[in-house]
Amino acid sequence: MCSLPVPQEPLRRVVVTGGTHGNEMSGVYLARHWLRTPVDLQRPSFSALPMLANPAATAVCRRYIGHDLNRTFTNTFLISKATPDEPYEVTRARELNQLLGPKSSSQAFDFLLDLHNTTANMGTCFITKATDVFAIHLCHHLQLKNPKLPSRVLVYQLSQDETYSLDSVAKHGMTLELGPQAQGVLRADLFSQMRSLVASSLDFIELFNQGTAFPAFEMEVYRFLGCEDFPHTEDGDLAGMVHPQLQDRDFEPLRPGTPVFQMFSGEDVLYKGDSTVYPVFINEAAYYEKNIAFMKSEKLLVSIPALPGLTPVPTPLT
Amino acid sequence: MCSLPVPQEPLRRVVVTGGTHGNEMSGVYLARHWLRTPVDLQRPSFSALPMLANPAATAVCRRYIGHDLNRTFTNTFLISKATPDEPYEVTRARELNQLLGPKSSSQAFDFLLDLHNTTANMGTCFITKATDVFAIHLCHHLQLKNPKLPSRVLVYQLSQDETYSLDSVAKHGMTLELGPQAQGVLRADLFSQMRSLVASSLDFIELFNQGTAFPAFEMEVYRFLGCEDFPHTEDGDLAGMVHPQLQDRDFEPLRPGTPVFQMFSGEDVLYKGDSTVYPVFINEAAYYEKNIAFMKSEKLLVSIPALPGLTPVPTPLT
């Protein structure tokens, strides 16, 4: 797989987005707080821009109004011609692409950190592309800074797929996913944790901007493999639910033959895959409509190359 | 306070409602299951009718479409003249009142059991009127049948207030509230627990119908006192959140001077009441829009009179 080039210059244009999903409250209220009080996002070499990504959905406390914004940053949507009846989020994605991109261009923001919550028991999860070496160094930095916090890295990109999430608009990016937290609820513990992880992320960018080099390392990552649907009745209704033995077991190994669903009739459904997988986003509220009971990942040990320090700009002779 | 008269005849017309709030999934999926497979709700002396109370909100997995259905069963709404632009739930409340009531009439259903979930850490909670001796005997029966299940009784009616909830349409009624469960999520553990509590409730009605008398007893109940709002900024936004020391502590004593909110600025806000209260519905997702951070209750020991057995109808001489 190709790696994105590592930055050759300081990252000056950094954005922290909350409310990409309007009912994921940690990011919504952090973004609102920073819009009033931006001092937390200032560092000597840059200031991160706080942004509420989907203000219309946030105002009504829903994930989205017409289309999931975090699935809308494909070229198809971004270069489509505006129409009067398009979903709100298609218009908004185009606006955000103008403000923060254009995607894949040299004008794009240097880094985008997107803040999310899940109803799944995922703890702290960093989601990024396998090819974004800069972002993976950031994940590693956050793990080293928070040794007591169980945090995992989920790499989410199938080789042939076009990226579709908000963080793909910038040159480098990461999604921070904290759970479990119910939609529409703001928990003080997760709010503080997210605030502190954002601060450490900006500190990492500052270190890089100041010329710090980061050595190579090995890291455990979970790589997205595919999705598992719920059991359904013939007329398309749910026929069962996530098995109590699977509920809340995100990132734990799921072996073939283990119960995954409990039917309303009482019967257990066993996992039919032919190898052990690591489920994530188990029983996420927003994924019922996407027919996803959980996502499957594999656990890998990967070698990440060093992130070279920036070459100091020579001071002109006087 | 006046007591509702205890039933003098067997309860033949019993209804179990789910989806009064369309994103509280245990009741939604139990109701859907029973509509396909009603055998669970059959007893020798009666069959309970399963019903999806708010099908429109359930179809889009929202609490409500235009107005909270569980606040719509007041005389003002029920006797109002239909208008073309009234909220969906006002129309639906009138329909349900025709089907299951009319409220306060001799034609009303004998018992209505309404199934709910909360995002608060309330465990199993039975909500009923202090005056409904029949329903309180049912709560006591459920507690005796489930000694390992922490379950509490919340009596919710201020003396001057008109009742407004769906269960007030029937002659006797109870709301079953299970949590914590995120909106839009179906947890197998809570689903099974709700199913089993409904079965025990129907068994209790069957026992009563068969002539069983239930003795007087003393019981701990939590009586609703009032609501506590979140701290707000001058422009009406949230300025803080439920304090981590209060989060998940439903039904535990809250003493004056204890932290209740953590401001986004970092400062703690202490509880200013002049006596100990017992908070419930702490940080319930649906109550942000109602400006309720938690409800306050007092804990009381109450004496409940015996529920006399039905007088057997004399068998006609042949």
- Mean pLDDT computed over every residue of chain B: 95
**What mean pLDDT is predicted for residues A66-89?**
95
**Integer Cα distance of B285 and A179 in angstroms:** 15
Q: What is the mean pLDDT of residues A275-295?
A: 98
- Alpha carbons A9 and A120: distance in angstroms, whole number: 38
| Partner residue facing A182 (CB), from B37, B119, B192 | B119
User: Would you call B269 an interface residue with chain A, using a CB distance cutoff of 8 Å?
Assistant: no
Question: For B178-231, what is each residue's pLDDT tens digit?
Answer: 999 999 999 999 999 999 999 999 999 999 999 999 999 999 999 999 999 999
Single out the residue of A175, A280, A153, A173 nearest to residue A221, CA to CA: A153
Mean pLDDT along residues A177-204? 98
pLDDT of residue A150: 87
What is the separation, in whole angstroms, between the first and last Cα of chain A? 46
CATH of the domain at B238: 2.20.25.160
Interface test with B, best of A30, A194, A241, A265 (most B CBs within 10 A): A241
Contact flag A183-B241 (C-beta cutoff 8 Å): no
| Residues B132 and B83 occupy one common structural domain | yes
Cβ atoms within 10 A of the Cβ of B203, count? Answer: 14
Domain assignment of residue B308, yes or no: no
Is B288 in contact with A61 (Cβ distance < 8 A)? yes
Does B1 score more than 60 pLDDT?
A: no
pLDDT of residue A311: 86
Provide DSSP, A256-278: TTSEEEEETTS-EEE---SS-BE
Whether residues B195 and B264 share a domain: the answer is: no
pLDDT of residue B146: 92
Q: Is there a domain that residue B3 lies in?
A: no
Q: What is the CATH number of the domain that holds B21?
A: 3.40.630.10
- Confidence bin at A314 (pLDDT 50/70/90): low
What pLDDT shows up at residue A156?
86
**Which pLDDT does position B159 carry in this prediction?**
62
* Across B266-283, average pLDDT: 97
Interface predicted TM-score (ipTM): 0.94
Q: Which of B241, B263, B291 to mutate to test the interface with A (most CBs of A within 10 A)?
A: B241
Tell me: pLDDT of A291 over 60.
yes
Residues contacting residue A119 through CB under 8 Å, at least 6 positions apart: A179, A180, A181, A182, A183, A283, A284, A285, A286, B182, B184, B185
pLDDT at position A257? 98
| pLDDT score of B305 more than 90 | yes
User: In this structure, is residue A66 part of a structural domain?
Assistant: yes
Residue B306 lies in a domain: no
Tell me: pLDDT of B8 over 90: yes
A251 domain residue, yes or no: no
Taking an 8 Å cut-off on Cβ atoms, the answer to whether B283 and A186 are in contact is yes
Confidence of residue A2 (pLDDT cuts 50, 70, 90): low
Domain-embedded: residue B313? no
pLDDT band at B270 (very low <50, low <70, confident <90, very high): very high
Model pLDDT, residue B158: 62
Domain span at residue B268?
227-291
Residue B315 has a CB neighbour count (10 Å cut-off) of: 6
Query: Tens digits of per-residue pLDDT, B116-153?
Result: 999 999 999 999 998 999 999 999 999 999 999 989 99
